[in-house]
Structure 1
Amino acid sequence: MITVIEQAVQARLVATAPKVETVPVTLCYDRSDPFAVRMAFPAPATLEGVEVSWTFARELLRSGLIRPSGQGDVRVRPYDGDRTTIEFHAPEGVAIVLMATAELQRFLRRSAEVVSPGHEHLYLDMDHSLAELMRGPR
């Protein structure tokens, strides 16, 4: 049984490092963290010159395809019929990417095959999470 989904997609960067317009982005869903999705940007697309990953709620991505969603560091909203805007807010500034809505929908469908929306709680490893919490900072 598949427990991790990774999907490469193209993103058009609206606000980013100079000379980078379209970059490959990797979307990842892991059943061991069932409420979250991860979006990784390659080093050439970042101000620091290292790969940067953002982790946020799968539900935020899902709802953002339909209506503006999010109030924190990640915000998702429809742009037009074919594209979705994702904003990443950090102390260094804001990065805005446009992604094909169809690709995001495909990724969400694939993630739903791993863990159906509404059933994420069944895949939480509470013992492991509690042990990590009790271990404290490293």
Structure 2
Amino acid sequence: MDTTVVERELELRLVLAPDHSVPIPARLTYLVDDPYAVHITFHIDSGHPVDWTFARGLLVEGVFRPCGQGDVRVWPSKSGARSVVLMALSSPDGEALLEAPTAQVSAWLEQTLLAVPPGTEADRLGLDDGLAELLAR
């Protein structure tokens, strides 16, 4: 299995009110052997990082237009003169609205798309090889 990892550290903003947000250090991670998912780790003051995993396609689409429903929604916006991507995350433990710089998210996503082009994700899972091996028995 290919263990290529595409990572990027960046500072997100946790939006607490329309005119108030706080910085949240985060890491975006993409694993070639988990090709449909993106992982975001938030380093908050609790001492335990908070991890979220959702579809890479959701984040790719959310850079350009509102998408998602339920636990994860993503959409483009502006914060002053800056282009940002907003991510609304919801869980039984609470909800969060996060703001990420579009340029940094887009550059990282581009690297993930070069590592595993859209439409080739299933090839990375080795399902055909595994199925062939099972059927050969």
TM range, normalised to the smaller chain?
0.7 to 0.9
User: Unpaired runs of 5+ in structure 1?
Assistant: 131-138
Return the structure number with greater strand share.
Answer: 2
1:9 and 2:10 correspond: yes
Read off the aligned partner of 1:104 and give its amino acid letter: V
Aligned position for 1:86: 87
Percent identity between matched residues is 38
Larger radius of gyration: 2
- Give the secondary-structure state (helix, strand or coil) at the position aligned to 2:67: coil
1:121 and 2:122 correspond: yes
Q: Which runs of 4+ in 1 moved over 3 A?
A: none
| Structure 1 segment 45-64 matched on structure 2, within 5 A | 49-64=47-62
Read off the aligned partner of 2:84 and give its amino acid letter: R
The CA deviation at 1:92 is 2.4
The CA deviation at 1:50 is 1.6
Aligned position for 1:110: 111
TM-score, normalised to structure 1, is 0.80
User: Unpaired runs of 5+ in structure 2?
Assistant: 132-137
Read off the aligned partner of 2:56 and give its amino acid letter: R
Cα RMSD (Å): 2.5
Q: How many residues align?
A: 124
1:15 and 1:36 mapped to 2: Cα distance?
Answer: 27
- Give the secondary-structure state (helix, strand or coil) at the position aligned to 1:50: coil
Read off the aligned partner of 1:96 and give its amino acid letter: L
Deviations 1:34-90 (A, max 9, x none): 00000000131xxx5521110000000000111111012111001126111001101
Aligned position for 2:73: 75
The CA deviation at 1:125 is 3.3
Aligned position for 1:29: 30
**CA separation of 1:9/1:126 partners in 2, compared to 1, >3 Å: closer, same or farther?**
same
Aligned position for 2:135: none
The CA deviation at 1:2 is 7.1
2:62 and 2:107 mapped to 1: Cα distance?
Answer: 14
- Give the secondary-structure state (helix, strand or coil) at the position aligned to 2:105: helix
1:43 and 2:44 correspond: yes
